[in-house]
A and B are shown apart, each in its own frame.
Chain A
Amino acid sequence: MVNGQRLRAMIRKEFIHLVRDWRSLALAIAIPLLLLALFAYALNMDLKQVPTAVIDHSRTPHSRALISALDGSGYFNLCCSLRTLDEVEAAMRRREILIALVIEQDLADRLLSRQPARVQLIIDGSDANTGRLALNYAQSLLWLFNPQLGVDGVRVEPGMAAQPLQLAARAWYNQGLVSTYNIVPGIIAIVMVVIASMLASVTVAREWETGTMEQLISTPVQRLELTLGKAIPLYVVGLTDVLVAAGLGQQLFDVPLRGQPALVLLVASVFLIGVLFYGLVLSIVLKKQVVANQLALITGFLPTLILSGFVFTIANMPLPIRLLTYLFPARYFIAMLRSIYLKGVGLEMVLIHFALLSFYAALMVALANRALKLRLD
């Protein structure tokens, strides 16, 4: 079915297109770097040196210990000590502080008499995300400091003191440390989807638009030669990107690869074939570069970003949306990659996901070849 000489000719031609259109290629290579940097730094849930004020009405060893625990954590920077709430408000308006800790006079008494004690946290709500994060951090710190301490109306019942484990279990407050671990597998998926939508979705449509397709189909070229000839160079670019992303993850962010590198490549290859041919299907069916490109972004890139479990946890989604996520191959891919990366599992542990992904890839290859017509009507 496939003539080697013709396939090689197609591949060579597509490589030349890629190299001569160096802007698109540079973009395709630069995107993993950019995304990695963007997500690793910007999506970082870590808090550092939040400017914090303290009003200490208690002035006891207890209150000082609490303050130094906060200060010593590295998350908070105690920049000023204030006396009244008016001063706190003024400082917050000047954006000098983001958070203020108010310690009541009776703190020591209550702690000593084993009564529930309270401190007040005042947070600049205008920066909701940082504020919430800071609140969570502070809360956890205070609980760690003394489980009897209630914060901001969150009363800790006496019984809680006997269950400090519950606090330790909520390790997601430490997400800053773990997030890059989860990001690298996600980035690898995103990168491949971007390549598929940026490069694959336009490649056949461009030939229709410029009129080269009419000439091409007047030659003995076969469908499989045409689709493979277009997919293979993009596959090479995609796999290069995977290596770049994985390498950078390891070098820059110390993301460990606990599983087998070959397994990562295998899984990535299958996923890549699926998304590349999905891009080709769009390109073949729509015959217009702009439309195919847009549709590839909307139906490929966005779901991969939102519905794959990369950024948003699937378990937290409402049921209809959760069911929807099963339709997107990135879900299986990212789940597999995380298992391979972080748990170091072998293929046998992710077999179902792998089978689903392979099915998707095979389906797309078949669809692309079915949709491609070597005639004008």
Chain B
Amino acid sequence: MTGDWAIRARGLHKAFAGVDAVAGLNLHIAPGTLYGLIGPDGAGKSTTLRLLAGLLRPDRGEAAIAGFDSLKQAERVKQHMAYMSQRFALYPDLSVDENVHFYADLYGMPREQRLKRTDQLLDFSALRPFRRRRAGQLSGGMKQKLQLICALIHTPEVLLLDEPTNGVDPVSRRDFWRILQQLVAEGITILVSTAYLDEAECCSCIGLLHQGRLVREGTPREVVERSGLQLVSVRGVDPSRLAKMLRQHLDPGQIHLFGDRVRVSCADPAELMLRMGNWLPAGTEMVEDRPRLEDVFLALQQAPRDERLLAQVATGVTRRQGDAVVTRQLSRAFGRFTAVDRLDLRVPYGEIFGFLGPNGAGKSTTIRMLCGLLPPTSGCGSVAGYDLQRDGERIKQHIGYMSQRFSLYEDLRVAENIDFYGGIYGLSGKALSARRDWALELSGLGARRDELTASLAGGWRQRLALACAILHAPSVVFLDEPTSGADPASRRLFWDIIRELADHGVTLFVSTHYMEEAEYCDRVALIFRGAMVASGSCRELKQRYGQGRLVTSGGVVLPDGEVEPTMEEVFVTLLEQESLRDG
């Protein structure tokens, strides 16, 4: 077919309103490659894919797919490739079958061939039982798989996927990547952009995009090795205190608190360990650790840890004692469907509590009940000392809530959004202006206070949304998938802020899909089909459920050479067990 490349870009340029999105990009991707395009928010990933797909006209340079120019031979290109946009782009009111057939027709598939291919793809993705269901009623993971099927229906040579697993739970995410790997084995070339670097580690080749340019390229292993980055993991009784101590002695940018260990990046681990040995408390373990793609990525981005900012995160918070959230047999039914089933929770003040579970497990319903937005059908509980059944309105005044969807007003300026939320929480005059300055500082948007919120990139929006949610200095904060779709640097800062709040006695109740983020939590609870499956610290869960698992990428090497499972593996094991039990 196309010789030595399936996807090619030469000197590709595209600017929007004078700002370069893609600046002189060169890409040569060989047939049969699973190529991961990674980069921070606004690095130009989506623009690159759209240029390749011929959906955008480049200012300069050329893009080509399967031997055809993306612009001049757009028709031919469209026949040979499939593109999957970042947003869910199928018709929610059409059934699975109808969506697939629609795309099959657009690609001119003959009827007999299509039926066979559809069956094959539906089996392949385990969607066959749902073929009559409307696409809008599928879970997040199934939607993405359906979109992939629609893209694959005409057996394209090249597949362009734009962050296909955003907002997809770990089990579905794993399925999705398994499918991609099978497709590559069949000879399809795949270019996939992702914000999640554990996914990038599954690619045969990755390219790191920064400000519209390719700054690193190679196999994940090569990229890590060539970076020259080394890591030392430090483990102690109180990892949070340990991290503080390390930050005082070393460059804070080197320190990363992750789960029960502190990871310190350096150029020479032996020298560092020797140095640290002098002042680290007795009983602290030090071990050389394998750097991961994420570490390389963050080192490249050189996002310094802003100590001044973090120091004032918890301004105005009053430290309280006891339990922030208590529930007993908390349940919520919608008609005959039980969304939350007899949930017992106890979360003390100052804890980061991770609330994990696949799409549709009942996470959001539980959080809505705890926020006083939805009354429970049975059971009882209290939040910040107020009863769930009776004091819903009071609860709302004493908690912070950041919903899954972007909750700010895009047509308001940054400062106006803050003022609006301040007004809602009853702030005015001097109190409001003090909190406004604080929120601008926290979101890092002081200089952009008069910009429209619509113009902010993902990571900034999330920081602003968080600042608005905690404007009134609540002692309990609910965050519903706060980092979905944010890049690693934004996520890390986000979790630094969360840790800082917790250290000042704030309870953070966080739901997330991303198991790696569970490591940042003091304790996690895993829920599945509305009921609690397991709870404890990550370390406990790994010991209890992570045994005997084959570890793929991302496993961390422990001192005795044993391989520690990741939280994602624990999660998948547990869910598979539960699914088996239910038959």
Using a CB–CB cutoff of 8 Å, the interface residues on chain A facing chain B are: 3, 5-6, 8-9, 12-13, 16-17, 20-21, 210-221, 374-377
Contact = CB atoms under 8 A, between A and B. Distances in A.
A220 B79 contact: yes
A218 B93 contact: no
23 contacts: A3-B108, A6-B108, A8-B105, A9-B101, A9-B102, A9-B106, A16-B93, A21-B93, A211-B87, A212-B90, A214-B55, A214-B87, A218-B55, A219-B103, A219-B107, A220-B75, A220-B78, A220-B106, A220-B107, A220-B108, A375-B55, A376-B56, A377-B56
Interface string B85-100: 1011111111000100
Contacts of B87: 210-211, 214
Contacts of B101: 9
Given A212-B91, A375-B56, 6 more contacts: A21-B93, A216-B89, A217-B55, A219-B107, A220-B108, A375-B54
Nearest to A19: B93
B176 interface: no
B54, B78, B93, B105, most chain A CB atoms within 10 A:
B105
Nearest to A219: B106
Given A13-B94, A13-B98, A219-B107, A214 B57 contact: no
B499 interface: no
A17 B91 contact: yes
Given A218-B53, A376-B50, A376-B55, A12 B83 contact: no
A13 B91 contact: yes
A218 B88 CA distance: 14
B79, B83, B106, most chain A CB atoms within 10 A:
B106
Nearest to A225: B106
Interface of B: 50, 53-57, 74-75, 78-79, 82-85, 87-94, 98, 101-103, 105-108, 147, 150
A9 B105 contact: yes
A218 B87 CA distance: 14
A338 B102 CA distance: 43
Given A12-B102, A375-B55, A212 B89 contact: yes
B153 to A, nearest CB: 10
A221 B78 CA distance: 9
Contacts, number: 79
B83 A6 contact: no
A210 B84 CA distance: 14
Contacts of A12: 102, 105
Contacts of B103: 219
Contacts of A219: 78, 103, 106-107
B108 A211 contact: no
Nearest to B78: A220
Given A215-B85, A376-B50, A6 B106 contact: yes
A208 to B, nearest CB: 11
A214 B162 CA distance: 12
Nearest to B82: A218
A21 B136 CA distance: 13
Contacts of A3: 108
The A interface, classified by DSSP as helix, strand, loop or mixed, is helix
A213, A215, A376, most chain B CB atoms within 10 A:
A215
Nearest to A217: B55
A232 B87 CA distance: 28
A218 B82 CA distance: 7
Given A13-B94, A17-B91, A5 B85 contact: no
Nearest to A7: B105
Contacts of B147: 215
Nearest to A212: B89
Contacts of B94: 13, 16-17, 20
Given A211-B88, A212-B91, A377-B56, A6 B105 contact: yes
A5 B93 contact: no
A20 B93 contact: yes
A213 B53 CA distance: 14
A215 B102 contact: no
Contacts of B102: 9, 12-13
Contacts of A374: 74
Contacts of B56: 375-377
Given A221-B106, A375-B55, A376-B55, A211 B89 contact: yes
A375 B57 contact: yes
Contacts of B53: 218
Contact of B85 (A8, A13, A214): A214
Nearest to A21: B93
Contacts of B106: 6, 9, 216, 219-221
Nearest to A17: B93
B209 to A, nearest CB: 19
A218 B78 contact: yes
Contacts of A20: 93-94
A377 B107 CA distance: 23
B86 to A, nearest CB: 8
Contacts of A16: 91, 93-94, 98
A214 B105 contact: no
Contacts of B150: 215
A20 B92 CA distance: 10
A217 B78 CA distance: 9
A217 B74 CA distance: 11
B108 A5 contact: yes
Nearest to A13: B102
B13 to A, nearest CB: 13
A5 B101 CA distance: 11
Contact of A218 (B75, B83, B105, B108): B83
Contacts of A21: 93
B6 to A, nearest CB: 17
A220 B456 CA distance: 34
B148 to A, nearest CB: 12
- Nearest 3 A/B pairs, CB to CB: A9-B105, A215-B89, A211-B87
A211 B75 contact: no
Given A17-B93, A375-B54, A215 B108 contact: no
B428 to A, nearest CB: 33
A5 to B, nearest CB: 5
A214 B93 contact: no
A212 B94 CA distance: 12
Nearest to B109: A5
A217 B70 CA distance: 13
A83 B240 CA distance: 102
Contacts of A215: 83-85, 89-90, 147, 150
A206 to B, nearest CB: 10
A213 B90 CA distance: 9
A17 B95 CA distance: 11
A101 B276 CA distance: 112
Nearest to B86: A211
Nearest to B84: A215
Contacts of B88: 211
Contacts of B105: 5-6, 8-9, 12
A376 B82 CA distance: 16
B369 to A, nearest CB: 30
A277 B89 CA distance: 25
A371 to B, nearest CB: 17
Contacts of A218: 53, 55, 78, 82-83, 85
Nearest to A12: B102
Nearest to A20: B93
A376 B56 CA distance: 6
A377 B147 CA distance: 23
Nearest to B74: A374
Nearest to A9: B105
B127 to A, nearest CB: 18
A12 B50 CA distance: 28
B85 A211 contact: yes
B57 to A, nearest CB: 6
A218 B150 CA distance: 12
Nearest to A16: B94
A358 to B, nearest CB: 31
A221 B75 CA distance: 9
A30 B361 CA distance: 42
